[in-house]
Structure 1
């Protein structure tokens, strides 16, 4: 139901080929939840978007420090990420370093995918 004629309240942010994003999209579709998918790579990112995400989740939570992109960074670059500003700069340059998916509705957001948490988040939207 990702292609709804009414404006969805939910936006799912991520990268389309990410397995966890695929699971989240499949769950939303199966539950017939209207949402818009925003691919960081195809649809882009702005500093303002990331500042909003950081305000909701914190920069530490948004940085996927267990992923390949983070591990491929040089030690000096990893050590230079010390605050929200430097984290946002890195996320703009390397969107794959952002933990995903991120489900957003207004001022609320949910990071990662867990069916139970998604169910609760979606119910609270209705």
Structure 2
């Protein structure tokens, strides 16, 4: 299982702690230090579309009008922290965010 996020994100910390407490083997990937490849970004956007971008984030609000009008792939490539977090890959399954449904699916 891979958790994509940034180490300062409280939700990512909570998800990592919960998953490890449930006995899951989790690899944390800091998307700032180890950016996503174009292929990974394309796969994420194919899976989640516009939802992959956190439009409420300060990162997104700081974008130029041009970047705000760009495709999600370009936004995530330009500023990885704009991606909604955490993004969790469990085998072939993707999970976006840390809601009750995601927690139930991953800690069962």
Q: Greater shift after overlay, 66-75 or 114-123?
A: 114-123
Aligned-partner SS, 1:48: helix
Q: Greater shift after overlay, 48-57 or 108-117?
A: 108-117
Could you say which structure has the larger radius of gyration? 1
**Structure 2 residues not aligned, in runs of 5+:** none
Task: Tell me by how many angstroms 1:52 deviates.
Answer: 1.1
Distance 2:21 2:91 in 1: 23
Query: TM-score normalized by structure 2?
Result: 0.89
Distance 1:28 1:42 in 2: 22
Task: Tell me by how many angstroms 1:68 deviates.
Answer: 0.3
Structure-1 residue corresponding to 2:33 = 42
Distance 1:51 1:76, change over 3 A: closer
Conserved 8 A contact 1:102-1:110? yes
**Structure 1 residues not aligned, in runs of 5+:** 1-9
Conserved 8 A contact 2:16-2:26? no
Conserved 8 A contact 1:11-1:36? yes
Conserved 8 A contact 1:13-1:38? yes
Conserved 8 A contact 1:56-1:107? no
Task: Tell me by how many angstroms 1:122 deviates.
Answer: 4.3
Query: TM-score normalized by structure 1?
Result: 0.77
Paired positions, count: 108
Distance 1:53 1:77 in 2: 19
Aligned-partner SS, 1:12: strand
Distance 1:34 1:54, change over 3 A: same
Which of 70, 76, 83 pairs up with 2:60?
Answer: 70
Distance 1:40 1:17 in 2: 12
Conserved 8 A contact 1:27-1:115? no
